[in-house]
Amino acid sequence: MSDPTATQDLIKGADEPAASPVAVRDNQRSLWRDTWDILKRRKIFWISLVMLVVFLLMAAFPSLFTHKDPEYATLAKSMELPSSDAWFGYDLQGRDVWARTIYGARTSIIVGVLATLATVLLGGLTGVVAAYFGRWLDAIISRVGEMFLGLPYVLGAIIILGTIAPAQSNPGKVTIMAVVIIVLALLGWPILMRIARSAVIQAKHQDYVQAARALGAGPMRIIFKHLLPNSLAPILVYSTITIGSFIGAEATLSLLGIGLRSPVISWGIAIADHKDYLRTGPHAMFFPAAFLSLCVLTFVMLGEAVRDALDPKLR
Amino acid sequence: MTEVLSEQVGRGSHSGALLEVEDLHVEFRTRAGVAKAVNGVTYSVDAGETLAVLGESGSGKSVTAQTIMGILDMPPGKITGGEIRFRGVDLLKLPEDQRRKIRGEGISMVFQDALSALNPVFPVGWQIAEMFRMHRGTSRAEARKKAIELMDRVRIPAAKDRVNDFPHQFSGGMRQRIMIAMAIALDPEILIADEPTTALDVTVQAQIMGLLAELQRDSNMGLILITHDLGVVADVADKIAVMYGGRIVENAPVHDLYKNPAHPYSKGLLESIPRVDHKGQELYAIKGLPPNLLEMPTGCAFHPRCPYRRDNCVTDVPPLYAISGTRGSACHYWREVIDEGER
C-alpha cells in the first residue's frame, strides 16, 4: 500500500456508476427510502392514502361531517328516502342514515385496527419464537396454528361468540367490541405466525446473524436488531390488508347477529338491521354497505401498493 | 476486559499459547450419514503471531473457526472431542453467557463476504457503535464517536461523512474494512479472519491483507488467517497449518513450507500456483477430488490422489510426524517428499 488514500478514492469512484443516480444524490438510501421513492410515484397509493385520511377523520371527529345525533330517532320518518334534509334518508327507527354511517366508521376502523394489532402481536411473537428457537417449540406452535387455521372462520366465530357472549346477554359497548376483536385475532393469528416464521427463518440464515453472534450478540439482540427489522416488510404488508378484511369480517359477524350489536353503531349492524327491507327502502342498507366496501378497498389497495413497492422483483 | 474474563480467563498463569486448539473433533449428523468435518485438529496462536490455516473447501478449516467462536449450528454439528483453550481455560466447558462475553472482546472474527455479513437495514456507523453499546454500555454519542475513529483507523476516506451510509453503498473493499472495524472494535486478543479477501479484487486483497497485518502489529493480536490461497498468506503469516479432510497434514514456519514442503498435498498446492517463470507450460493440478466427508478414505485421507502412495498408506493413518520442534507432517514418507524438494 504505497498511497492508501489515493487507491481508496479510486475504488470509491469506481463503485459509484453501479449505484443508481438516486444513491449519489441521496445519502440515506435504505429499504424504506427505496419503498417511499416508488410509492410516491404511484397513483393508487395516493388515492388510497386520501381515502384513508378521510375515513380516519370520520372515525376520529364524526362531528366534522354531521351535526346530527345518530341516536336520535323520529319514528314518523321511518324509512324515509334521501332528501336535502337528510342526504342518505332515514332508517327503520327514523334515525339519520348519514349520521349513523359516519359514526359507524369509528367502530369499524377501531375493530379492524385493534384486531389486526392483536393478530400481529400474537402471530408475530409466536412466529418469531417458532423460527428462532425451532425444534420442538416450532413444532408445537406450528401445529397449534394449524388447528386454528383448520377451523372455518364463521363457524369458529359462531361457536366462540355464542359461548362467551350469547345473544340474550346485554353487555356494554366496550365489552362487545372487545369480544369481537379477541375472536378475530384468535382466528386470524396463524396466518401471520406463518408469515413471520418464514420471514425470520429466511433472515436467520443470513451471514449477518452469524456475524452478530460471533461478535457477542445475545438472542434478544439478534431477534430485535437483526431478525425483526429484516422480516418486517411482509408482516407490514399483510397487516394492512388484514385491517380491511377484518372490517369486512366484523360486518359479516354483525350481519349474522353474533358480532357487534346495539347500542354499538356500525356498518355491519346497519346492514343487518335493514336486510329485510331491501325492496322498500334500499337506501338504509346501501349507504352503509357502500362505505364498508370503500373502507375495505382503501386498506387492501394501500396494502397492495406497499407490497408492490417492497417487492424487489417489480422494481 | 469484562470481569468475567479477568476472573475466569485472565489469570495469565497458564504456560501454553494464548489460544490452543487440541485434538478437536467435530462431526455433522446428516440424513445421509455422519460427516466427519474435523478429525483431531491441533494448533495454537500466541499474541502477535499469525497462523495461516490453509485448505480447500470442505477441509474443515472454517468449521474449526466456527467451533472456536462457538457459533457452530448444533445440531446438525456436534463437537465429539477435544479442547479449545483461551488463556488456559477450556472454552468448550464454559457456559454460553460467559462464552458470549468472550466473543468480540477476547476472540473476534471477520467473515468472507462483508456484504452479507453486515446488516442491510442499519447504517455502518450504527453497526460499529453497536459493539460498544452491546459490550460496554457506552452512550449513543460516545459510541458514534468511537465508530468514526475506528472507520478512520481502517482507512475509510471521509469517515465522518460516511458513518450514516448503508452497507450496500460501499465498495467490496470498503465493506470488508467496516467488517474489520467491527471485529477489532473491542481490541480482541485473537482475530480470526475467515477468507477475508476471497470475495475481493486482487489489488484490494493486498490492501486488506496489509491492513490486517498492520492492525495486528499495532495491537499485538494473535491472528488466525483462514484461506485457500497460498499466495495471500506468504508475506503475512508466521506459520502455516495445511488442512486436508479435517486433519492437519502439515504445519510449519511459513518459509520452511514455501521452501520445501514435507507433505505431498502441500507440495501439490505449491506447484499449482501459476508462476511467471513457467509460462507456456501446463499448470499443475492435484488429480482427483477432495474426499467425501461421509466416506473418508481408509488410512491416509490423501492416498487416492497421492503420487507417493504405497500399500500401507491405504491401511495406516499417518500420525503427525515431528520433523523438527516447529514442524510436522502427516505423511509416512515425508522424508522422501522433503528430499525430493532439496534435489
B174 and A214 within 8 Å at the Cβ level: the answer is no
Sign of CA dihedral B111, B115, B121, B123: positive
Q: Is the ipTM reported for this complex over the cut 0.85?
A: no
**CB-based contact A189:A147 (threshold 8 Å):** no
Contacts of A211 in chain B (CB under 8 A): 109, 111, 117-118, 179, 182
Whole-number pLDDT of residue A127: 92
Residues of chain B with pLDDT > 90: what percent? 3
Which cell numbers hold the place of B212? 490486517
Whole-number pLDDT of residue B14: 61
Contacts of A230 in chain B (CB under 8 A): 119-121
Q: What mean pLDDT is predicted for residues A45-67?
A: 88
Whole-number pLDDT of residue B78: 85
Closest-approach residue (CA) in chain A for B67 = A214
Is the pLDDT assigned to residue B3 strictly greater than 90?
no
- How many helices (H) and strands (E) chain B has is answered by 14, 12
Contacts of B156 in chain A (CB under 8 A): 8
Q: How far is Cα A181 from Cα B146, in angstroms, rounded to an integer?
A: 48
User: Is B309 at the interface with chain A, CB within 8 A?
Assistant: no
Residues, chain B: 343
A216 and B135 within 8 Å at the Cβ level: the answer is yes
Enumerate the H helices of B246-302 as residue ranges. 254-259, 264-271
B118 and A226 within 8 Å at the Cβ level: the answer is no
Is the pLDDT assigned to residue B273 strictly greater than 80?
no
CA distance A193 to chain B (A): 22
Q: What mean pLDDT is predicted for residues A86-103?
A: 81
- For the entire predicted model, the pTM comes to 0.72
| Residue B337 CB partners (closer than 8 Å, separation 6+) | B261, B262, B263, B264, B267, B308, B329, B331
B134 and A23 within 8 Å at the Cβ level: the answer is no
Diameter over CA atoms, chain B: 68
Whole-number pLDDT of residue B130: 86
How much of chain B is in helix, strand and coil states, percent to nearest 5? 40, 25, 40
Nearest alpha carbon to residue B132 among B58, B182, B176, B74? B182
Q: How far is Cα A179 from Cα B297, in angstroms, rounded to an integer?
A: 67
Contacts of B155 in chain A (CB under 8 A): 4-5, 8
B206 and A28 within 8 Å at the Cβ level: the answer is no
**CB-based contact B270:B230 (threshold 8 Å):** yes
User: What tens digit of pLDDT does each residue of A201-234 get?
Assistant: 888 888 888 888 888 888 888 888 888 888 888 8
Contacts of B204 in chain A (CB under 8 A): 11
Q: How far is Cα A280 from Cα A294, in angstroms, rounded to an integer?
A: 24
Q: How far is Cα B215 from Cα B190, in angstroms, rounded to an integer?
A: 12
Contacts of B135 in chain A (CB under 8 A): 216
Whole-number pLDDT of residue B6: 45
Counting beta carbons within 10 angstroms of the beta carbon of residue A47, is it exposed (0 to 12), middle (13 to 18) or buried (19 or more)? middle
Helix orientation angle between A228-255 and A267-274, rounded to the nearest 10 degrees: 20
Q: Which of A16-30, A141-155, A280-294 has the lowest mean pLDDT?
A: A16-30
| Residue B32 CB partners (closer than 8 Å, separation 6+) | B294
pLDDT band at residue B316 under the 50/70/90 scheme: confident
Which cell numbers hold the place of B119? 446488516
CA distance B107 to chain A (A): 8
Q: How far is Cα A290 from Cα A102, in angstroms, rounded to an integer?
A: 12
Contacts of A19 in chain B (CB under 8 A): 169
Nearest alpha carbon to residue B296 among B102, B33, B43? B33
B204 and A11 within 8 Å at the Cβ level: the answer is yes
Whole-number pLDDT of residue A4: 46
Q: How far is Cα A118 from Cα A127, in angstroms, rounded to an integer?
A: 14
Stretch 84-143 of chain B: residues touching chain A, C-beta under 8 Å = 97, 100-105, 108-109, 111, 113, 116-122, 130-131, 134-135
Whole-number pLDDT of residue B15: 66
Which cell numbers hold the place of B43? 494448533
A207 and B103 within 8 Å at the Cβ level: the answer is no
